[in-house]
Structure 1
């Protein structure tokens, strides 16, 4: 069948709210960093299924683990009985967690319900109800995680009221920095804005948790300044507030470390969430925290019928094997340096390329109007569509930010070929050769 035929048939029965529209393609198969659609077209994947296939598509070791486990037992709910892969994974994952002291976890099916669980445990442990998160955050699409998010108005529109007790403060993204400000001045100003609610209407002694993505994903692939995050961390502990991180997008080796928080010195979360690439894209997530926090609630406060089932946890065990055995942390860091060099060269070559942020194989590249320096959504959209035509999958976040998150197993030859395509697309835009004016991608308004 053809892509358009399948999409037309699907459209009759699939909700518009459940897909962010980018390209008209139907994926049939994948191997490593290569995708193939139903018409046989091949693409180099620079998205890794929204950073949920860090080990690549259909990695043989992961496939073998899934197959062997499925032949023995696909599902029996961990809500009532243990299974071997989940029991083994719990020990392995808590030992990897960047938490100071003994840690425990609770399983979920997605990053969304993991963040819901984080809120439950934070409230249960502290006896407080309020949650502070950040603008630009994407924590998920369930009511709890959506209430903590701040990346798109379509995650609020027509669905209110959202949960009470949620407050958002500005994330210190570089586009909020004034031209005259030094780094220290910017950090000080953003921290004063962080404190403003606590000084005026939000009692710190009623706040259970501060939840942050140390490196925001859908907010633009942008790292919080280290001095800023340290100030927030110290403020939380001074006021008995739990400090929690969302590693769903940025964890599992994405930034060249196991966890993005390890890009910051001396910060250890009380709670954290992980998902997406935990089981190489299979539906598995976890909230991990200090033992005393996770033990603050009793069953059935956070149980799900399928969470932590034998197949997904076997896949996660294999995923960790691959990351360790193939040295994907080091690979992400090394190829990230190579990618930064390439995109910096594109910035020198094309005046519509703005800030380039790269943390391992994890990049946000701003596309801007060269006259004003402001976001240029139209040009960014034209670029990703031209890349798609040339055989590379890349999308935008925030409308104008190129999202660069290839599988960590991408070969250097594939990466170089993708660079050639990106350069070609930018050259086509610079010379007025791209004819595309449709609206696609994330809606932020």
Structure 2
């Protein structure tokens, strides 16, 4: 047992940590453990983390996309420390300048054609719940359209618009939600193209709703669903159809925001659309709990007579960090870095696809990259067991990534924006060795 910086006892014994978590965590919090042997993180720096045995790994997941500008970034640490030393918390019923400054700075990143306001929450799922409530209040309508294969969170409201089965509990869901087919250009039920999916959206509206919509909610790049980018023209067509039925357009940029795609700060900017409501979280605070709903003023003002309160929403420490994150992304040109390094990484992943038959598809934008594994390329049969094997081996070769998708056959990579060119070859080499391990294992199994 060792003391941490605060003087409190902290154990770094692998067995003790696992035992304490299993003994004292509720089932709801200990269930989501992707590795066969739990990964224990001791410290991080930039794009790297070290486990309790001091093994260094390249964090290709950014701690579930929360680390945007790098672990323990000195400017983030300084901003947080400075604010903690002055005031740790100020509830929103009282005023503090830091959250107000951050709201102004976030609003300034949005299209100048609209007047934007911000509501800070503690998490992305809370922000999704608020966005749904806001759309229903503003329109007076109830029906919401979501996409299959989507992930918006696991709270009671957010899971009702989540289309990934693993996150839908066997309980009554929030009503008046319909699902349209996601325009997946690799595995989508209508194959490639955009129009068939817009036609399906028309059918979904016509057959499963009242025809009067509260809104539609879309991830510009489906994240947990397996890095499924919305193809050019889909968002524009979906927005037109939604607004024609009186609905508002909600974009969930919890995963794709803050430059992750390497195209712009917000993913929607490259699609020629403007949302009515945008949801942010994860990378907004570089790991500090924070979420936000950014909405057009005329939409948000419809809830002016509604008392909606988040105890830690607009916490000055979290908002101080959020302000610094925005500045770091600009000062260090991290969106451009995501584009340049992400392109190189994507090229390397395509090369791996040529060498390993189990790789059915490689896709992504910037630092949102995915490898989908299949046991038959023509039939696109999900290779879930093979994905689990490669996932485990990639950790042994020094990587942290995600096993995701409805069939858990997608290796998802969304690293911090500071991942460098020097990291690309080690990442590709580790993945190559992991797939080679799989092929050797299959060969041994057949002999």
Q: TM-score, normalised by structure 2?
A: 0.91
Q: Work out whether residues 99 and 270 of structure 1, in 8 Å CA contact, stay in contact via their aligned partners in 2.
A: no
Q: CA deviation at 1:401?
A: 0.8
Match of residue 269 from structure 2: 262
Q: Which residue of 2 aligns with 1:199?
A: 206
Native 8 Å contact 2:236 2:273 kept in 1:
yes
Q: Measure how far apart 1:61 and its partner are.
A: 0.3
Q: Unmatched 5+ residue regions in structure 2?
A: 1-11
Measured after TM superposition, the shift of residue 414 of structure 1 is: 2.6
Q: Which residue of 1 aligns with 2:33?
A: 21
1:381 is displaced (CA, Å) by: 0.9
Query: Which is worse superposed, 222-231 or 88-97?
Result: 222-231
Shift of 1:234: 1.1
The match for 1:93 is: 106
Q: Partner of 1:368: helix, strand, or coil? A: strand
Q: Which residue is equivalent to 1:239?
A: 245
List alignment gaps of at least 5 residues for structure 1: 437-445
CA gap 1:212/1:154 in 2 versus in 1, 3 angstroms: closer
Q: Does 1:418 align with 2:427?
A: yes
Q: 2:19 aligns with which of 8, 12, 32?
A: 8
Partner residue of 2:359? 353
Contact 1:396 1:403 in 2 (8 A): yes
Cα 1:404/1:153, change in 2 over 3 Å: closer
Cα deviation for residue 408 of structure 1 reads 1.0
Partner Cα distance (1:309, 1:434) in 2: 55
- What is the root-mean-square deviation in Å for CA atoms of aligned residues? 1.9
Aligned residue for 2:417?
408
C-alpha change, 1:177 and 1:249, in structure 2 (3 Å) is closer
- Aligned-pair distance for 1:260? 1.5
Matched, 1:39 2:53: yes
Cα distance in 1 for partners of 2:404, 2:50 equals 23
Q: Which has the higher contact order (CA 8 A, sep 6+)?
A: 1
1:435 deviates by 9.6
SS at match of 2:302: coil
> Does structure 1 residue 127 correspond to structure 2 residue 140?
yes
Q: In the alignment, what sits opposite 2:394?
A: 387
Distance in 1 (CA, whole Å) between partners of 2:107 and 2:230 is 25
8 Å contact 2:250–2:278 — kept in the other structure?
Answer: yes
TM-score, with structure 1 as normaliser = 0.92
Name the counterpart of 1:111: 124
Q: Per the alignment, in what secondary structure is the counterpart of residue 362 of structure 2?
A: strand
Shift of 1:177: 4.2
Q: What are the superposed Cα offsets for residues 348-396 of structure 1, whole Å, 9 maximum, x if unpaired?
A: 1111111111200111111111364311011111111001112111121
Q: How does 1:298-309 map to 2 (within 5 A)?
A: 298=304, 300-309=306-315
Q: What residue is the counterpart of 1:67 in the other structure?
A: 81
